[in-house]
């Protein structure tokens, strides 16, 4: 193989990440993949955890690295994985997040009208597949769970996939929240395959418990941290306000980027024009928008935008019960007074909602444990497991954001 | 203060540990404290985790370091802690493990006839207190929970004491079991005191969950690892055999160390002679015994001892139910045949027992959480806590050890 | 002190960074300081080291943290530091980089016409001082080395300042170049003050050697990495091209940000308008420019800009001798042909220069070592020191960049 | 391969160490290899660095792990390494330290009468080779540099061997001296082979400089730390005293271990009896000796031994020039008075010597750098390298130890 397609990349998390295959190299140097350098992995979490400025680009490389390890481990245990399958699985994980837009989950619903990033990843994978003359077909089959060896898909997207293992490890590393550390190397060492399905050996049980608890901790301490939550809600309010103002007159709101398309033209159909605009859209565009709008004459918009820039965020409260209407009314009234706003305008500063830890749908996800005697059980059915209890239940919290 | 009582000690876990007080310096340079250099923190766990050769000396210093941090944190929050109390609490934690004998928990029950190491620690603290002209009185009061500011005792010995925080952190570090990592610094930052009791602020809840889960994981993966378990049971069998043989004739069994006293003379009364022998007894003596006895003509003794030296351990099986008698009989028969033993002798190679995770007596331990509104709740009563479920129950496993 | 001015910030490098003083809190929440969130610490180094996306915001906090440690250490050694001096030194280090513009050193000379970032830092510190009613005066005196206790200035800016200690540590951490790790905590423990000057105790010599060697390594392996070098040279070419085009007609080049001022209006005088534009300028603006210009009809500009976006960089060669003219001519010719350019246009793709490791001006910098007997020597005069040799000499390399 | 010969071992330094070959498994479970569990890697360095209690057993496993990585890297670069060679090189590194005796280098010269540990390693490797029916022949050939592919020997023992890479990394880890950290993974990634010789690619130069500087730092800061030095000199004095006393009457000095043979019978010839005694000798035996002799009526012996146990060490001074006789006389006189000793006895407490950093014999060692154009140069001949200067010269310091 030509030297130029061999690369070693320094990674503070794993040491070195090696790229040895021409297809993998081609993907990583593609403009679509390079775009991920400009998408924060954790949206605005860096407002709380200043180190959390790592990118989707970096995460995807990390997940690819774990995929290399996992495939190597399974091969060494005698699981047949062809060279082609190996490359395809690696390509699939490299591309799994390629459909993320600006600020990822935070804006997915509003800016992209609810089109899921996996749908967009698939769109882009298909575009690349055409460009690459079909070389990505097997990767797409693995990604969409159509490939017969299901464990390859499960490594890309499943309860114990390398995506989650990397993001927990990496987000924990960059935030400095050491409690999020998981034993990814031990879990990988414990992986097995039976009847084409991914399993974990019995002695890996405690590592998996640890993984699930670390995930839970990262959710409440980081991903759904109340300050992160309020900042991301403010992003949504900004989009709503821009669109509301733009409905009358958009010229003063234009950013000169492809963001304009998604703000004012996009109808939710991912046609050719939408994709063309999407693949050049990134966090930088949205930040430019925020900087631009922070000087806009509309006070609602400028206050929200300047607030993001200066980290002057709305207040937020979380509780187990919904907030009573009276409180909302009172906060609305306050905002109207302090900022001299109409009631409708105050709604951009005072609002309620639910934060749900949607990651725990254990109903449809299983982590299969392989016992020494060959028996397979879901971890929730294992004696003495921590899992079947609290971890499995969805947790919902109610929040109120307001201006003070 | 004279320069000679100021010391900085390199610690791979925390960076640097500083000693700045003359009393602390005096303790750490005392022969009784130096003895802890020769007591493994984790007994025979290094047979499974080769890095786990760190000592009680090192752990006590580490716990002392966390005590310094905790006291500093509480002081900076306005809790009144006098200079004298500060030094006393540090002295108490430095000395908390000074009563550990050879292989600590593994041999406590048999070699020291069940005298708990805390009892011995207190014995030695009192000796030192005399020697130091009463300087340790407040430390003793804190250690025995007689000092009015109870949080000082709770930092030394409680559900969230610095002892546990250090040993989990340190044992995790030296074993390389990264899943045992806890957020000790975050927990310390979240500590508070109300009505003299140690509390944790509300936002520390997830860190405490993490701490409890890490402890659980360390128990099953490390402290009660089946190979560690069987090795430590073999130590007990060695003591039993030495005593049984010595009942007839002990001359060939003598080690020339103070171990001889505890093997053949100690009657369970911690009198002056016993203490005098105890304070010079360490793991080295027991290892010397094992090396000596590995050449003893008694086959039972020599096989057990050589087994420890060469890490040729008995087999062990663990299960949730007791083992049936038939299995035990069959294994005994096997051992008799293979080693040409009498039935009584075979009992040293084939035996059953229970491994209990006794650390979870949550009934009598509380971790009090301080909410923003001033309310205090035990963590098990907090909504959505992981704790009240599986974590609180004692877990028992049955084991059988046998020769093969 | 009101609770709201107390903050604990998670830092993956040091664990936790604490803010306890109202003035410090006021600085960190100021819009000028928040701007540093949008300035990469290492400009485009992340094109080689994907983790190196940390910010000036984060670095300044880190240097502040080390300042807290250093002041604490010196105080504990009996050096008198008043509460006011303590806060002033912390403020000075927090603000030392506040004058960095987009891509820091990479664009300093061209975009800001050579105004040094320290000059700009001082400008902004004076603005803030007015705003804060003089509260920053002592910090400014320390920053400008007018304060009598010179060691405070030396901690902010000197051969062994906390700035360098943080950036080496932090850049090493985020790049994953483990060889850049320095023993910052040990160096701080070894600090002393004599006659108002900062010194290092004798036993810290090896740590300082290590620090200097780590710095050398980071220079060649990271800061002057040839790929980083070429990317940053491309930024300069972009500015040059934009200005050249703008000399005729700038309307198609405008970014709608304060960058426009510095591209087309700034005459090198830091007047009020310039400062007003500067304090809202950041990397995001320049990245927005690059994204905008990547679609510009001028091919020179669009190719350079798209190259940055897609990491399709010019080739670069480094050597100890200057490149011969013939090679430059040949490469220019090649570029003309491949891109259908005029000779003048090709000059944006083919150019030579010198990379100088300017950090080693040991002539005017000293690291004073304090020996046990009270003698003070510069480290370069210490027997057996590594320093006086290669480390002290400036190293220059010649480079050629070209299109292929 | 049977499951029982596959093992995964937790290592805090590298994560996991895998054993997959039956021969390797057989070595690691052999009594001779298990003995290394009872030999400290760093002799008495733990008296200064309490974490430094790791063992030769652990270090050998670590070096084996790096050998696995290095062989994998070279294979992936197209260097032909047969399966048999791979196993042989791994066996050779596993066994390279098997000839270490109690307290390794500290006692090598006196207790073993100067027989080098590599000579002893070879002795034992030959014994094992017989026992294993010749399976170790290729490992022995590699170890003794008789195997044609010289790079395999160079990986075991050379300027950049995996032995040094592991001990620097591991000793740095366990002491907590972070400055000793080297980029072992980067160095391994940069390894190449040409004409059968081990080389390092050009871009690895800075990592090698770093490696050499780290080694220098570890020497002065750790291995030759003055407190470590004095403690190890005391061990030598203990042996000398025991032998001197034993020349008259040895019965009161016997330890009941194979140490007795080396103290009183060994004549420097490594015959069968000597080897038989050697393979069961370890640090535990010597520690037992020290504990025994600490109660011996001879004051010289008991004071030295108790000093080791209680870390009450002699004083030591180091300087570049030899100490003048007058000082020595004065210290001798002092010791005579304070301890009521004869002049001859005082010589055990007051003595001088030279500490030499013998590791820098660069004359006969080379680190070959492979340039992109195929040229090979020794690193000391590379422009701008740090190496040819101070690093290459042997450094000698004079010490005096005395009682106070």
The band of A360, judged by pLDDT with boundaries at 50, 70 and 90, is very low
The band of A361, judged by pLDDT with boundaries at 50, 70 and 90, is low
Please tell me the predicted confidence (pLDDT) of residue A2: 39
Asked if residue A170 has pLDDT above 80, the reply is yes
Sign of torsion, CA D179 D180 D185 D187?
A: positive
Residue in this structure with the two tokens 């905008």, named with its chain if needed: C292
Question: Hey, are the CB atoms on A284 and C288 less than 8 Å from each other?
Answer: yes
Please tell me the predicted confidence (pLDDT) of residue A19: 95
Best of C390, C393, C396 to substitute, by most chain D Cβ atoms within 10 angstroms, is C390
Asked if residue B321 has pLDDT above 50, the reply is yes
**Rounded to a whole number, what is the distance in Å from the CA of A324 to chain C's nearest CA?**
27
Least confident residue range of C33-47, C244-258, D161-175, D384-398: D384-398
List the single residue in C15, C76, C185 with the smallest CB-CB distance to B16: C185
Please tell me the predicted confidence (pLDDT) of residue B361: 52
Asked if residue B196 has pLDDT above 70, the reply is yes
Asked if residue A139 has pLDDT above 50, the reply is yes
Q: How far is CA B314 from the centre of its chain?
A: 24
Please tell me the predicted confidence (pLDDT) of residue D307: 98
Asked if residue C388 has pLDDT above 70, the reply is no
Query: Rounded mean pLDDT of D191-217?
Result: 88
Residues of A in contact with C38 (CB under 8 A): 287
Residues of D in contact with C220 (CB under 8 A): 206
**Rounded to a whole number, what is the distance in Å from the CA of C251 to chain A's nearest CA?**
13
Please tell me the predicted confidence (pLDDT) of residue A322: 95
Please tell me the predicted confidence (pLDDT) of residue A213: 80
DSSP string, D343-391: HHHHTTTSEEEEEEEGGG-GGG---EEE-TTS-EEEGGGSTT-STTTGG
Asked if residue C261 has pLDDT above 60, the reply is yes
The band of D201, judged by pLDDT with boundaries at 50, 70 and 90, is very high
Residue in this structure with the two tokens 């003598």, named with its chain if needed: B254
Residues of B in contact with C8 (CB under 8 A): 189
Q: Kind of pairing, strands A197-201 and A368-370? A: parallel
Sign of torsion, CA D183 D184 D189 D194?
A: positive
pTM of the model as a whole: 0.91
| Nearest Cα to Cα of residue D72 among D64, C206, A205, B341 | D64
List, as own/partner pairs, every contact residues B200-204 make where C-beta atoms lie below 8 angstroms and the sequence separation is at least 24, other chains included: B200/B160, B200/B367, B200/B368, B200/B369, B200/B370, B200/B379, B201/B369, B201/B370, B202/B369, B202/B370, B202/B371, B202/B372, B204/B369
> What is the C-alpha to C-alpha distance for residues A8 and A140, in angstroms, rounded to an integer?
26
* HEC per residue, chain C: CCHHHCEEEEECCCEEEEECCHHHHHHHCCHHHHHHHHCECCCCHHHCCCCCCCEHHHHHHHHHHHHHHHHHHHHHCCCCCCHHHHHHHHHHHHHCCCCCCCCHHHHHHHHCCCCCHHHHHHHHHHHHHHHCCCCCHHHHHHHCCCCCCHHHHHHHCCCCCHHHHHHHHHHHHHHCCHHHCCCHHHHHHCEEEECCEEEEEHHHHHHHHHHHHHHHHHHHHHHCCHHHHHHHHHHHHHHHHHHHHHHHCCHHHCCCCCHHHHHHCCCCCCCHHHHHHHCCCCHHHHHHHHHHHCCCCCHHHHHHHHHHHHCCCCEEEEECCCCCHHHHHHHHHHHHHHHCCCHHHHCCCCEEEEEECHHHCHHHCCCEEECCCCCEEEHHHCCCCCCCCHHHCCCEEEEEEECC
Contact assessment for residue D123 and residue D275, using Cβ atoms and an 8 Å cutoff: yes
Question: Between residues C208 and A229, which one has the greater pLDDT?
Answer: A229
Could you give phi then psi for residue B288, rounded to 5 degrees?
A: -65, -40
- Return the percentage of chain D with pLDDT > 70, whole number: 94
Please classify residue C127 by burial: count the beta carbons closer than 10 Å to its beta carbon, then call 0-12 exposed, 13-18 middle and 19+ buried: middle
DSSP string, D188-226: HHTEEEETTEEEEEGGGHHHHHHHHHHHHHHIIIIIT-H
Query: Rounded mean pLDDT of A18-25?
Result: 95
Query: Token pair for residue B242?
Result: 């030495």
pLDDT in tens, A215-273: 888 888 899 899 999 999 999 999 999 999 999 999 999 999 999 999 999 999 999 99
Give the C-alpha distances (Å, rounded to integers) separating D374 from B144, D75, D194, D358, D369.
73, 19, 10, 33, 10
Question: Between residues A4 and B13, which one has the greater pLDDT?
Answer: B13
Q: Count the helix, strand and coil residues of chain B and give each as a percent rounded to the nearest 5.
A: 55, 10, 30
Please classify residue C148 by burial: count the beta carbons closer than 10 Å to its beta carbon, then call 0-12 exposed, 13-18 middle and 19+ buried: exposed
pLDDT in tens, C180-196: 888 899 999 999 999 99
Looking at every residue in chain D, the average pLDDT score rounds to 91
Please tell me the predicted confidence (pLDDT) of residue B2: 39
Please tell me the predicted confidence (pLDDT) of residue D361: 52
Query: Rounded mean pLDDT of C81-109?
Result: 96
What 3-state DSSP class applies to A260? helix
Query: Rounded mean pLDDT of A69-76?
Result: 95
Please tell me the predicted confidence (pLDDT) of residue B392: 54
| CA D7-D8-D13 angle, 5° bins | 145
**Rounded to a whole number, what is the distance in Å from the CA of B245 to chain C's nearest CA?**
55
A partners (3+ CB pairs within 8 A) are B, C, D
Contact assessment for residue D193 and residue D74, using Cβ atoms and an 8 Å cutoff: yes
Scanning D146-204, the segments in alpha helix (DSSP H) are 150-156, 162-175, 184-189
Residues of B in contact with D292 (CB under 8 A): 256-257
Residues of B in contact with D51 (CB under 8 A): 10-13, 54, 58, 174
CB atoms within 10 A of CB B96: 27
Question: Hey, are the CB atoms on C185 and B15 less than 8 Å from each other?
Answer: yes
What stretch of H or E contains A228? helix A226-248
Query: Token pair for residue B87?
Result: 């030094």
Contact assessment for residue B332 and residue B350, using Cβ atoms and an 8 Å cutoff: yes
Question: Between residues B361 and C329, which one has the greater pLDDT?
Answer: C329
Asked if residue C62 has pLDDT above 50, the reply is yes
Touching C: A residues 115-174, CB under 8 Å: 173-174
Question: Hey, are the CB atoms on B12 and D57 less than 8 Å from each other?
Answer: no
What stretch of H or E contains A229? helix A226-248
Helices and strands, number each (H, E), in chain A: 18, 9
Residues of A in contact with B385 (CB under 8 A): 390
pLDDT in tens, D65-96: 999 999 999 999 999 999 999 999 999 999 99
Best of A12, A13, A16, A78 to substitute, by most chain D Cβ atoms within 10 angstroms, is A16
The band of B1, judged by pLDDT with boundaries at 50, 70 and 90, is very low
Please tell me the predicted confidence (pLDDT) of residue C68: 97
Q: Taking each helix axis as running N to C, give the angle between helix C104-111 and helix C226-248, from 0 to 180 degrees, rounded to the nearest 10.
A: 30
What 3-state DSSP class applies to A1? coil
Q: Kind of pairing, strands B191-194 and B351-356? A: unpaired
Does C78 reach chain B within 8 Å, measured CB to CB?
A: no
pLDDT in tens, A80-115: 999 999 999 999 999 999 999 999 988 988 999 888
Largest CA-CA distance found in chain C, in angstroms, rounded: 72
Please tell me the predicted confidence (pLDDT) of residue B3: 41
Question: Hey, are the CB atoms on C76 and B20 less than 8 Å from each other?
Answer: yes
The band of C1, judged by pLDDT with boundaries at 50, 70 and 90, is very low
Please classify residue A220 by burial: count the beta carbons closer than 10 Å to its beta carbon, then call 0-12 exposed, 13-18 middle and 19+ buried: buried
The band of A3, judged by pLDDT with boundaries at 50, 70 and 90, is very low
pLDDT in tens, D354-376: 988 755 455 556 788 898 888 88
pLDDT in tens, A285-327: 999 999 999 999 999 999 999 999 999 999 999 988 999 999 9
Question: Between residues A330 and A178, which one has the greater pLDDT?
Answer: A330
Please classify residue C216 by burial: count the beta carbons closer than 10 Å to its beta carbon, then call 0-12 exposed, 13-18 middle and 19+ buried: buried
Query: Rounded mean pLDDT of C237-258?
Result: 96
Asked if residue D227 has pLDDT above 60, the reply is yes
- Return the percentage of chain A with pLDDT > 70, whole number: 94
Residue in this structure with the two tokens 């709503």, named with its chain if needed: A240
Asked if residue D378 has pLDDT above 90, the reply is no
Sign of torsion, CA A94 A96 A102 A105?
A: negative
The band of C214, judged by pLDDT with boundaries at 50, 70 and 90, is confident
DSSP string, B93-112: HHHTTTT--TTHHHHHHHHT
The band of D1, judged by pLDDT with boundaries at 50, 70 and 90, is very low
| Nearest Cα to Cα of residue C278 among C292, C296, C260, C301 | C260
Domains and CATH numbers, chain D: 3-224 (1.10.3210.10), 231-302 (no CATH), 315-404 (no CATH)
Query: Rounded mean pLDDT of B172-200?
Result: 92
Query: Rounded mean pLDDT of D250-259?
Result: 96
| CA B219-B221-B224 angle, 5° bins | 55
Does D16 reach chain A within 8 Å, measured CB to CB?
A: yes
| CA A30-A35-A40 angle, 5° bins | 145
Please tell me the predicted confidence (pLDDT) of residue D383: 64
> What is the C-alpha to C-alpha distance for residues D257 and B256, in angstroms, rounded to an integer?
11
What 3-state DSSP class applies to B147? coil
Residues of D in contact with A15 (CB under 8 A): 185
- Return the percentage of chain C with pLDDT > 70, whole number: 94
Residue B399's beta-bridge partner residues? B318, B353
How large is the ipTM? 0.94
Query: Token pair for residue B397?
Result: 């496993």
What stretch of H or E contains D176? none
What 3-state DSSP class applies to A357? strand
Contact assessment for residue D120 and residue D57, using Cβ atoms and an 8 Å cutoff: no
Q: Kind of pairing, strands B197-201 and B368-370? A: parallel
Contact assessment for residue B295 and residue B372, using Cβ atoms and an 8 Å cutoff: no
Please tell me the predicted confidence (pLDDT) of residue C3: 41
Please tell me the predicted confidence (pLDDT) of residue C2: 39
Asked if residue C298 has pLDDT above 60, the reply is yes
């Amino acid at each position: 193989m030509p030297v130029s397609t061999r690369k070693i990349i320094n990674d503070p998390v794993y040491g070195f990440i090696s790229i040895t295959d021409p297809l993998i190299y081609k993907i990583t140097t593609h403009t679509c993949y390079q775009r991920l350098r400009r998408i924060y992995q954790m949206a605005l979490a860096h407002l709380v955890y200043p180190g959390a400025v790592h990118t989707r680009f970096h995460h995807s490389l990390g997940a690819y690295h774990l995929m290399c390890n996992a495939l190597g481990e399974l091969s060494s245990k005698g699981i047949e994985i062809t060279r082609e399958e190996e490359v395809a699985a690696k390509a699939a994980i490299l591309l799994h997040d390629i459909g993320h837009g600006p600020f990822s989950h935070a804006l997915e619903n509003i800016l992209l009208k609810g089109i899921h990033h996996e749908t967009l990843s698939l769109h882009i994978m298909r575009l690349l597949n055409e460009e690459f003359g079909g070389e990505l077909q097997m990767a797409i089959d693995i990604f969409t769970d159509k490939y017969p060896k299901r464990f390859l898909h499960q490594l890309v997207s499943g309860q114990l996939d390398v995506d989650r293992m990397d993001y927990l490890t990496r987000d924990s590393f960059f935030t400095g929240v050491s409690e999020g550390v998981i034993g990814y190397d031990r879990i990988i060492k414990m992986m097995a395959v039976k009847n084409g399905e991914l399993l974990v050996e019995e002695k890996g049980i405690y590592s998996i418990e640890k993984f699930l608890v670390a995930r839970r901790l990262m959710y409440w301490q980081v991903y759904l941290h109340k300050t992160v939550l309020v900042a991301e809600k403010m992003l949504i309010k900004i989009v709503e306000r821009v669109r509301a103002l733009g409905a009358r007159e958009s010229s003063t709101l234009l950013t000169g980027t492809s963001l304009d398309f998604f703000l004012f033209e996009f109808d939710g159909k991912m046609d050719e024009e939408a994709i063309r605009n999407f693949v050049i859209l990134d966090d930088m565009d949205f930040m430019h928008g925020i900087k631009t709008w922070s000087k806009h004459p509309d006070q609602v918009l400028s206050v929200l935008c300047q607030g993001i820039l200066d980290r002057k965020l709305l207040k937020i409260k979380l509780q187990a019960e919904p907030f009573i209407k009276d409180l909302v009314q009172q906060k609305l009234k306050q905002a109207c007074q302090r900022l001299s706003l109409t009631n409708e305008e105050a709604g951009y500063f005072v609002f309620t909602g639910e934060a749900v830890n949607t990651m725990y749908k254990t109903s449809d996800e299983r982590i299969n444990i392989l016992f020494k005697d060959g028996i397979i059980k879901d971890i929730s059915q294992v004696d003495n497991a921590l899992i079947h209890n609290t971890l499995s239940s969805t947790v919902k919290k109610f929040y109120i954001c307001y201006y003070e």
